[in-house]
């Protein structure tokens, strides 16, 4: 059984939920509401990943010291790192599991809003069919809708890059990875309007969620302590 066929039951359940919402509100609004509901359901996984990230930041200075001290003895370094993570109750791959668990949900939502069964995507947004692609936007109204969508995604990408720069200044590794944020608006150019609308909603949720989970009040003086230890 392929992965796609394995996800079919979940896709049909998601289709039924969005279709039910679409009987009360416009289909485009139903897509937004359903996306928000799924992201809210996944929020506990995001909180777990955020806790793991803060733990890595807290341990970063000590990890750097161990790497410097045992640079010529990889075996000793691995043992010391393992002991440190165990003592602090942090797994070396903490935060990876929440990300892996979220992947099937995102796959289901992507399939739903790009190849939805039935007539779910026959609706329009501002006169533009939800199945329309940016490359086929020739009329001014269609171009305006896709331009607004792309502008919103680019604004979120710029915000993510600025936040990544601040994190790098606070000794949080970012590097070239922060520029991956611009992959989202590029990817949206390949999606129909329904998929782009879902992507915009999910990206906005992610930005707000990361701000909320990584705000200073969420973890006390950890960033300050990390910065002082780094100096």
Contacts of 226 (CB under 8 A, 6+ apart): 57, 58, 60, 61, 170, 171
The residue ranges of the chain whose pLDDT is under 50 are 1-2, 172-174, 221-231
Q: Determine the pLDDT at residue 226.
A: 39
Instruction: State the Cα–Cα distance between residues 15 and 26, nearest whole angstrom.
Output: 15
In tens, the pLDDT along 79-127 reads 888 888 787 767 656 666 666 777 888 888 888 877 765 677 788 898 8
From residue 89, give the alpha-carbon distance in Å to each of 44, 78, 98, 117, 229. 19, 16, 17, 46, 20
pLDDT at 169: 56
Question: What residue ranges do the domains of the chain occupy?
Answer: 3-230
- Percent of the chain at pLDDT exceeding 90: 25
Q: Which residues pair with 128 in a beta bridge?
A: 125
Q: What is the pTM of this model?
A: 0.77
């Amino acid at each position: 059984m392929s992965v796609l066929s394995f996800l079919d039951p979940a896709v049909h359940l998601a289709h039924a939920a969005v279709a039910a919402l679409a009987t009360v509100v416009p289909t485009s609004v139903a897509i937004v509401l359903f996306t928000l509901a799924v992201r809210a359901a996944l929020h506990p996984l995001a909180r777990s990943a955020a806790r793991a990230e803060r733990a890595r930041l807290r341990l970063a200075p000590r990890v750097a010291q161990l790497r410097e001290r045992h640079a010529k003895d990889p075996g000793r370094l691995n043992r010391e790192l393992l002991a440190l993570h165990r003592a602090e109750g942090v797994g070396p791959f903490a935060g990876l599991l929440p990300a892996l668990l979220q992947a099937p949900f995102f796959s289901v939502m992507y399939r739903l809003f790009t190849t939805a069964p039935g007539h779910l995507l026959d609706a329009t947004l501002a006169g533009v069919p939800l199945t329309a692609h940016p490359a086929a936007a020739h009329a001014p109204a269609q171009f305006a809708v896709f331009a607004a969508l792309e502008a919103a995604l680019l604004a979120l990408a710029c915000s993510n890059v600025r936040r990544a720069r601040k994190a790098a200044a606070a000794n949080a590794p970012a590097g070239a990875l922060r520029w991956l944020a611009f992959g989202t608006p590029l990817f949206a150019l390949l999606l129909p309007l329904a998929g782009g609308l879902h992507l915009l909603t999910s990206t906005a949720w992610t930005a707000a969620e990361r701000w909320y989970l990584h705000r200073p009040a969420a973890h006390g003086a950890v960033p300050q302590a990390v910065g002082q230890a780094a100096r």
